[in-house]
Structure formats: C-alpha cells, structure tokens
Amino acid sequence: MVKVGIVGGTGYTGVELLRLLVMHPQVELVAVTSRSEAGQAVADLYPNLRGFLALPFSEPTLENLAQCDLVFFATPNGVAMKMVPDLLAKGVKVVDLAADFRLQDPKAWEEWYGMPHACVDTLGEAVYGLPEVNRELIKQARIVANPGCYPTAVQLGFLPLLEQGIVDSANLIADAKSGVSGAGRQASVGTLLCEASESFKAYGVGGHRHLPEIKQGLELSADTSVGLTFVPHLTPMIRGIHATCYSQVLDKSIDLQTLFEQRYIDEPFVDVMPEGAAPETRSVKGSNICRLAVHRPQGGNTVVVLSVIDNLVKGAAGQAIQNMNLMCGLDEAEGLGQVPLMP
C-alpha cells in the first residue's frame, strides 16, 4: 500500500483527489491537511465522503507528512516550493498540482507568478507530469509538476501535429472554455451563480498564466519555437474544458485521422473519436479521459482539433493520481476506471 497525504484538502481539487483516492485499492490515506480546518472531520466539510473517510484535517507539518510515501499539494501557487525540499530529504515523493514546478525557467516563473522561486535547485529536478509525453521520466521522478487543466487539453490536441512537423508552428490558436470550478472554491463575485449563469466571457486575453506552460510543452514537442494565441473563456457550467485548437497544415495529403489514432493508440486515457465527431464536455465528466476529434473543414489548409476533459480530473486530480501510479510502480490506470457521469 502507498501511504498518501494531501496538503490543501479543502478546495475542489483536494476533494476530487479524496473522492478518487478513497476508492484506490493500493492507497492508504494517512494525512489530509488544512490549517483553517485542523481537527474537523473531513467528511463534515465534504459529506460525499461520509462512510468512506474517517480522517480529520491536520496541520501541514513536516512531522505529519513525513509518514507518507507520497504527498499531493493541492495548494495555491507558491506554497509547495517552500515545503518540497524538506519532504524530498525525508524520502517522500511529491506531486504538485499547483504551478510551482511547471515552468523550467525561474525567471519566467517570477514574471508570470509575481514572486521569486523558493527552490531553484529542486525546480531543475522536477518532471512535467504529462504521461503521454514523459511517462518514462515520471516513473523515475521524486517530484512531478502536474500540468494545468488548459495546458493538458491544448497540448494533447496539438501534440501529434507538432511532433510530425506537419503544421505551421508559428501560427497556432487555442480557443478554450472552462467551467467555473476551475476558478477554485474561494469566494469570488465573478463566479457567483447570478454573475456566471446565462453569460459567457473571455478573460486573460492579454496573457494568461497557462500560456508559458503550454508554449513550453509545445516547443519541446516541436523541437522549435512556436507562436501561440491562447484565449480562455468562462462558461456557465461547473465542470469541463473544451479546447478548439487551430493550425495550418503544410501537406494536405496526410491522413490526420490515422495520425491521431496511431499517436494515441496505446494511451489509456486519450480517446480519438471517429472522423466527423464532436466530443462533448459532459461525455468526460467525472473521468480521467481526454476525448479528441480532428477535422479539416472543407478539405482546406486549416486543421481543427477538438479536445475535451474534466478540468478537475484529467485536468487536475485524476492526472495527479495517474502520475502517482507511475511514480510508485503501480498500474498507470489503477483507481481511474470511473465511467463518465451522464447526464
């Protein structure tokens, strides 16, 4: 059994980790931390866990977390990097669901997140946790940077095209929509029901924090610089991300459907849909699946890739558990076989 702790168990990502981990046959939850809720039963805050988890919230101390084999950080940006070096020194593996270890350049981190990086040496060791790209590195890693939700959907959409060098990498467009749970559980006027319902808006058009993360991953896959326009939108739904990825194909004779099917044929959580299909966010709700569909409208030069995920699962907690499984020598799909929720 893998002894697991969660730092920051009160947010939507934290409770999603708990929902999945309590049913994982190879996991023993030994610590769920929250400074504000320490001493309160986890199931009192999240009654969906009643009968599945008897732990109380505890303080996020090194002594408490050192009993774990692996610790998930489901905390705000800037928290994990202050604790991770001490945990690694105790032999504890880490999966960080925030952005602390996603960007390889500490100057880029400081530019986009407004604070200096607290452990640059550890940053150099971190492996970016997109299993469809870094599976073998993740297996050997002590610390994994779990990808963001938008970056997961967008990268999986573009990867087959960039890896084969068949599109103009200087002119990529990602038009992405997210449910309000992506904004987190903290109180915010913009995510109130009366504010978000019956409305639809773009945000972060001038530069979203996920932009450098997406570009970093795409440039590694393309082995060249990329030009990316990324525009996120808030939609009046709770869960889900839909990314529409546009690029210009350089050779119209290539069978794009076969290209995508072959690239992801052995990936347990990527579903390439039949030609002409249009995946829906509700078709992946509650699951660790990314569904993709590739189109070339009117047989022209423009390639359109549709990518949908549940932002809290494949975009966060599910992918984190996928990484945990790889890091701990377990079956990659262990504990992640949930059928998506319908309706």
* Predicted pLDDT at 189: 86
Structural domain including 17 reads 2-125
Helix extents (H) in the chain:
12-21, 42-45, 62-65, 80-89, 106-113, 120-125, 131-140, 149-163, 193-196, 210-222, 256-263, 318-327
284 shares a domain with 223 = yes
Q: Are 200 and 233 in contact (CB under 8 A)?
A: yes
* Predicted pLDDT at 246: 98
111 shares a domain with 177 = no
Residue 334 domain-assigned? no
Please say if 149 is a catalytic residue: yes
155 shares a domain with 120 = no
Structural domain count of the chain: 2
* Predicted pLDDT at 184: 80
69 shares a domain with 179 = no
Q: Are 144 and 95 in contact (CB under 8 A)?
A: yes
Q: Are 7 and 92 in contact (CB under 8 A)?
A: no
288/240 Cα distance (integer angstroms) = 11
Among 172, 170, 176, which Cα is nearest to 307's? 176
117 shares a domain with 181 = no
191 shares a domain with 94 = no
Residue 54 domain-assigned? yes
C-alpha distances out from residue 117 to 48, 78, 110, 124, 213, Å: 37, 8, 7, 12, 16
pLDDT tens series, the chain, 343 aa = 999 999 998 899 999 999 999 999 999 999 999 988 999 999 999 999 999 999 999 999 999 999 999 999 999 999 999 999 999 999 999 999 999 999 999 999 999 999 999 999 999 999 999 999 999 999 999 999 999 999 999 999 999 999 999 999 999 999 999 999 988 877 688 788 888 889 999 999 999 999 999 999 999 999 999 999 999 999 999 999 999 999 999 999 999 999 999 999 999 999 999 999 999 999 999 999 999 999 999 999 999 999 999 999 999 999 999 999 999 999 999 999 999 999 8
260 shares a domain with 202 = yes
* Predicted pLDDT at 195: 86
CATH number at residue 240: 3.30.360.10
* Predicted pLDDT at 282: 97
Residue 299 domain-assigned? yes
* Predicted pLDDT at 192: 82
275 shares a domain with 174 = yes
* Predicted pLDDT at 36: 86
* Predicted pLDDT at 315: 98
Q: What is the pTM assigned to this prediction?
A: 0.96
**What are the DSSP E strand ranges found in the chain?**
2-7, 27-33, 57-58, 70-73, 93-96, 127-128, 143-145, 172-178, 201-202, 228-234, 241-248, 270-272, 290-295, 302-309
157 shares a domain with 113 = no
Catalytic residue among 149, 194, 290, 328: 149
* Predicted pLDDT at 6: 97
Residue 243 domain-assigned? yes
Residue 156 domain-assigned? yes
53/22 Cα distance (integer angstroms) = 7
182 shares a domain with 90 = no
3-class DSSP state for residue 123? helix
171 shares a domain with 57 = no
172-187: b (≥16 Cβ within 10 Å) or e: bbbbbbbbbbbeeeee
Residue 319 domain-assigned? no
Among 101, 150, 158, 127, which Cα is nearest to 304's? 158
* 86 contacts: CB under 8 Å, gap ≥ 6: 62
CATH number at residue 31: 3.40.50.720
214 shares a domain with 99 = no
